[in-house]
Amino acid sequence: MITNLFRAFAATGASALMASTALSHDEGATAGEIHIEGIAATPARSGETSRVTFTIENDGPDRAVLLGLLLTTGEPSQVRGFLGVSHSAAIAGVGVEAGDVYRLGDRTAWINVGPLRHDLPEGARVPAVVRFDRFDVPVTLHVDGSPAARKSR
Closest to 30 measured CA to CA, from 145, 151, 152, 136: 136
Q: pLDDT tens for residues 108-150?
A: 899 999 999 999 999 999 999 999 999 999 999 999 865 444 4
Q: What is the pLDDT of residues 51-97, one digit of tens each?
A: 999 999 999 999 999 999 999 999 999 999 988 777 888 899 999 99
The whole-model pTM stands at: 0.76
Give, in order, the Cα–Cα distances in Å from 127 to each of 54, 89, 106, 122, 138.
15, 26, 23, 15, 7
**Residues ≥6 apart with Cβ < 8 Å to 9:** 16, 72, 127, 129, 138
